[in-house]
Amino acid sequence: MVTFHPAGERAVTGVDPAAFGELVRRSVWVDIFGPTREEELALEAALGFGVPTREEMQGIELSSRLYEEEGALFMTATILTRADTSHPESSAVTFIFTPERLVTLRYADPAAFRLLSSRRDVAPHEFPSAPRALCGLADAIVERLADILENTSAALDQLSVEIFSVEVEALPGATTRSSAAPVPRAARPDYKETLKRVGRCSDLVSRARESIVSITRLLSFFRSKYRDEPRMQAALAHLDTVSADLASLGDHDSFLSSKVAFMLDATLGLINNEQNNIIKIVSVVALVFLPPTLVASIYGMNFEVMPELKWLLGYPLALVLMVISAVLPYAFFKRKGWL
């Protein structure tokens, strides 16, 4: 699908490839989303240069992502998509820029593109040129990344409350330092699910970092190519502000990355504590029943000479001995604070 954004007009889409030439000449922004081979050929003929293939867009080396060819800048960035789903993705988007028009080639649907397209439909005169369209896209991408990081930060805060909240018994006149309600023992978090949520936050943070670095490189490349171009100075000043915003988001992303690592370590530590508590319970049960088992084993031997078997109080005495042998070790360990 190809969407044309003529200067001062609403977007045009669903056009026959034979009419691409006239629309390309009138457009300041041409958005190509999952094009067919017929659309690719028609666009290349109308634009006067070739567009990268999907395989070429996947290259990670800098020379295949940022270069100038036939008077146009070819800039490929990695954009975070599907951030609101359980399976976020990172997709390559190529920006082909000339002073007359901006061409974007993508095979995913980032929210930033939908946002800018809707803004332009409401106010077509707000983005009258290719530099303004590029600035608008950069703003929308940064805005979306900021929202993703804010949502991830809120999710981590919620995880922190759930993980570190402990059951507190209310005492007369007692007050708690935290305003969060105590978590009942039955409502303790499912640590398997918690690990999944921490993993999703980690995935979002790492993909957001990838996008921030990729877009920062793209803007640096653009500024270096047009820094001496007088008609680009307004756009360059705007992109300087965008770069400062990206640097701020990068710092926040680093903070969230360290927080994710801490939450992961804390969750694993609590899982380890739960396992230790289970082992402690098993050990206490073994401690309580081992001495009585020893006494019962002794009197369960089949020897001919066992005087206690003929005592009138032999059986009650054996029971009392088993109880005492269970209580004394438990009391000793409890007094030592080992239980």
13-26 confidence digits (pLDDT tens): 877 888 788 888 88
CA–CA distance, 80 with 91 (Å, rounded to integer): 6
The helix-helix angle for 233-298 and 191-226 (nearest 10°) equals 160
pTM of the model: 0.76
- What radius of gyration do the chain's Cα atoms show? 34
Q: Does residue 56 share a domain with residue 101?
A: yes
C-alpha to C-alpha distance for 5 and 26, rounded to whole angstroms: 8
Confidence class for position 105, pLDDT limits 50, 70, 90: very high
CATH number for the domain that contains residue 215: 3.30.460.20
DSSP string, 184-231: PGGG---HHHHHHHHHHHHHHHHHHHHHHHHHHHHHHHHHHHHTT-GG
Average pLDDT value for the chain: 83
Joined tokens for residue 41: 């050929």
Q: Are residues 241 and 209 in the same domain?
A: yes
pLDDT tens per residue, range 42-66: 888 888 888 888 888 887 777 778 8
Q: How confident is the model at residue 230 (pLDDT cuts 50, 70, 90)?
A: confident
pLDDT in tens, 265-313: 988 888 888 888 888 888 878 878 888 888 888 878 877 777 777 788 8
Residue 289 domain boundaries: 274-336
Go through 38-72 and write b for each residue having 16 or more CB atoms within 10 A of its CB, e for each that does not: ebbebbeebbeeebbeeeebeeeeeeebbeeeeeb
Number of domains in the chain: 2
Same domain, 47 and 138: yes
Q: Is residue 173 part of a domain?
A: no
Domain assignment present for 208: yes
Residues 200 and 314 in one domain: no
More confident residue, 127 or 73: 73
Residues 300 and 225 in one domain: no
Residue 174 placed within a domain? no
**143 and 291 inside one domain:** no
Tokens of 272: 């380890």
Let me know if 263 is exposed, middle or buried by CB neighbors in 10 A (0-12, 13-18, 19+). Answer: buried
Q: How far apart are the first and last CA of the chain?
A: 69
Are residue 212 and residue 313 in the same domain, yes or no?
no
Q: Is the same domain home to 267 and 286?
A: no
Residue 149 and residue 13 in one domain: yes
| DSSP summary character for residue 277 | H
